[in-house]
Structure 1
Amino acid sequence: MAAGAVASTCAWTWPNPVGKNDLREADVRFNIADFDFTRNPTSTCNGRYHDVLNTGTHEAGHIFGLGHVGSGHSNLTMYTKADRCEVKKRTLGKGDVMGLRSIY
């Protein structure tokens, strides 16, 4: 896993000559050595925890072929960074959905 990464995804596909490659397997690894995770960040979170659902939704986007989006799109689930205690990216934003629609 890259230094400083909160989580990482590996996906294996088989070529499909008439469309998107077929997903065969995927693994997601959460960096529990360097980061703490919770499912219920509260007002007392104090920037210590990453929301496991926020991070999991982002990594699922990678499984389905989405890449990171950059500056100007910090409201999207596939934005490069998520703040600690943040829960607003547990669901996909319009840009995330449009990215999936362009693939599938």
Structure 2
Amino acid sequence: MTPPCRSADELQTRVAMHGADATAWAMLGRLWAKAGEPLRSRRAEGEAAYALGDLRGAIDRFRAGRAQVRQGNSADFIEASVIDSRLRSVQAELRALIAEQQEQQQR
């Protein structure tokens, strides 16, 4: 087990290498919120939900981040682009999962 990370930078590096680490994403979200970075925080919350397999929760958080951008509450265009891309990706994954489940039910 790795020692706990002490900063957002360390956690950012960790999630870049271990994207499925829901705990690290959640901690990163809290750190970004405390640092006054609400858009980054929202993305980290979405990634944490995704890492836990909660696709609907991830979509909800990414949509909330997109809404923040549309309301003019963030000028971080790179983070906004990442959120938009992740939202589309997770939505597509959820649609595929639902289609697969419906197909199995019809058999």
TM-score, normalised to structure 1, is 0.35
More helix by proportion, 1 or 2?
A: 2
TM-score, normalised to structure 2, is 0.35
- Higher RCO (Cα < 8 Å, 6 or more apart): 1
